[in-house]
Amino acid sequence: MTNRQPFPLLGILLLAFPATLLARTNILTTGLSTSVDYDSPQYESAAVTSVQDGSVGVKKNDARGDDSANLVVRPLVRFLSESQDNNFELRAAPAIKYDMLNDATGWDADLSISAAQSMSRNWRVTASDAFIRSDNHNPQYSGTLNSPGQDTQSTPPVLAADRGRSLYWQNTAKLASEYTYAEESLVHLGVGYNVLRNDETDVRSYEDYDRSNLDVRHQHRFNPVWKTGADFSLVRGDFTTTGQQPLSVTPENKDLWEYHFMANVDNTSFLHHKISLNYTYIGARYDEDLLGDSQIHEMQLTWWHEFSPQLNTTLGAGPSYEKATGQEANVGGNGKAEINYLIEKGRISFGVEKGYDVDNFSGTGKRGFVDFWNTHLLFDYTLSENFSVNSQLTYRYEDRQEPSTTITSEANDLTEYTTNQIAAGLGLRYAFMRYYSAALNYTYTDQDSERSGDDYQDHRLLLTLSWEQEWLRW
C-alpha cells in the first residue's frame, strides 16, 4: 500500500481561501494544559494453535495487563480569521509525554486546518484536514439517538475500544459543496479521505487502512408540513493487516466497497409533533470472492413529541432484513425510545435503540454486520457558576456475523458471536481565575465476548489542569 501525506488538503486550503487571511476579524488564542493519565486495562489473549484440514484450534491464555501512567504537557495555538463571507481556522496542540512507569518520553500531535467560502448567497464551499497521533482511541458516545430524518453522511469511523493503548496516527480530509435553493431545501456534495496507520504492532493485530468516501444529499421542503430527504454514501476501504494475525482465518485481501442510502419523509401537521418514515440500506461488497457480500434493509416509523421546552421524547419501530451470501436471511425489527429532560442547571437523557449496522473500519480486523442493542443514561449538572459534573452509563449488546469462508465455516465461534459491553464515566470540572480550569475524569469499561481474546476490563483516570486565553485580536 502506498503511504499518503498527512495533510493532502493543506496546500489546497491555502490557495483556495487566501482572502481569509485578510478577514475583518482575526483572533489568536494560546493555551497550555498539564495532565496525568493513568490507565489500567486487562486483556484476555488468545491464539490460533493450528489450522489444517479445515479445523481451527484455539488456545485461551491468561489476562494480560498494559498499565500506563503518563505525564502530558500540551501547548495550544489557535488562529481564527473570519468575515461575513469566509472563515479560516488553524489549530495546533502537540504534546510531550513522559512515561512514569518505563522512564521514557514520547510525543502526540493534534493538528487541524479548516476554511469555508461563500461563493454566492446560496452556495458555500468548505474544506478541512485534521491529523492526530495518539495512543488513545478515545471513543466518544454522542449520548442521543439519531433524530428523525437525520442525514447519514459519512464520518471518520470510531476505533474500537479493545484496540488498547496502541500508538497510531490518523488523518482525515474533507471537501464539500452545498447549495441552498429554498428554505430547508438544499443539495450537498462531499468527498472525504481517511488514513489510519499503526506504529505499534508487536503484541496484537491491527489494521492500517485508506478510506475514501463520496457523499450526496438532497433535502427538500414542499410546504410547512411536508419535507423529504435522501442521502447516499459510497465508501471504499483498502486494508493492510499488521502485527500478529487476527484470530479469524480469512483471506488476506479484505478490501471492500460499502453502499449507504437513506430516504425519509417528515410530517409536522401538528404543533410539537413530528412523524417520520425512514428507509435505510447498507451494502458491503468484498474484493475477495471467498468473503460473502451482505446487505441490510430497514424501515422505521418515528414519532417525536415535545411536551414542553424541557421535555421531549422519541419513539420509533419498524422491520429489518439482513442477508449475507451463503447464509440464511435474518428477519427482525428495529426501534428506538428516548426521553430528554432539561432541568434548571442540567439535563437527563435515557434511551434504548435496536438495529443493524456494518463495522468494517474498527482498526482491529473485524468484519461484517452487527445486530445491536444500545442503552444509555446521561446526567449533566452545573453545581455552581464554576463547578459542573457529568456522568454516563452505557450498555451495548452485539450479535456479530463476520463474512464466512470455506475455511471458517466449521469454526462458528470465529464468524458468529455475541459481545456485551458496559461503560461508566464520571467527570468533574472547575473553572477559576477566568482563564484556568481543572478537570477529573474516570471511565470504566467491561467487555465480555463469546469470541476468544475479546474480553477486557479498563480503568482510566485523567487529571488535567489547563489555561487558555485569547492573546490577540485585530
| Confidence bin at 152 (pLDDT 50/70/90) | very low
| Confidence bin at 41 (pLDDT 50/70/90) | confident
pLDDT in the model for residue 186: 97
| Confidence bin at 202 (pLDDT 50/70/90) | low
Evaluate if residue 112 carries a pLDDT over 60. Answer: yes
| Confidence bin at 154 (pLDDT 50/70/90) | low
Evaluate if residue 263 carries a pLDDT over 70. Answer: yes
Evaluate if residue 464 carries a pLDDT over 60. Answer: yes
CATH number belonging to the domain at 10-473, selected among 3.30.70, 2.60.40, 2.40.170, 3.90.25: 2.40.170
Evaluate if residue 21 carries a pLDDT over 60. Answer: no
What DSSP line would sit under 257-324, residue for residue?
Answer: EEEEEEEEEEE--STTEEEEEEEEEEEEEESSTTSPPEEEEEEEEEEEEEEETTEEEEEEEEEEEEEE
Evaluate if residue 43 carries a pLDDT over 60. Answer: yes
pLDDT in the model for residue 346: 94
Q: Are 351 and 338 in contact (CB under 8 A)?
A: yes
| Confidence bin at 6 (pLDDT 50/70/90) | very low
- What is the separation of C-alpha 32 from the centre of its chain, rounded to a whole number of angstroms? 26
| Confidence bin at 316 (pLDDT 50/70/90) | very high
Share of the chain above pLDDT 70, in %: 80
Q: Which range is least confidently modeled, 7-16, 59-68, 73-82, 385-394?
A: 7-16
Share of the chain above pLDDT 90, in %: 61
Only one residue has cell 413529541, namely 305
pLDDT in tens, 382-428: 999 999 999 999 999 999 888 765 444 444 445 788 999 999 999 99
For the residues 348-365, what does the mean pLDDT come to? Answer: 90
CA distances from 75 to 108, 109, 239 (A): 11, 11, 34
* Maximum CA extent, the chain: 73
Q: Which range is least confidently modeled, 58-72, 206-220, 221-235, 420-434?
A: 58-72
CA distances from 455 to 61, 77, 242, 373 (A): 11, 40, 21, 18
| Confidence bin at 366 (pLDDT 50/70/90) | confident
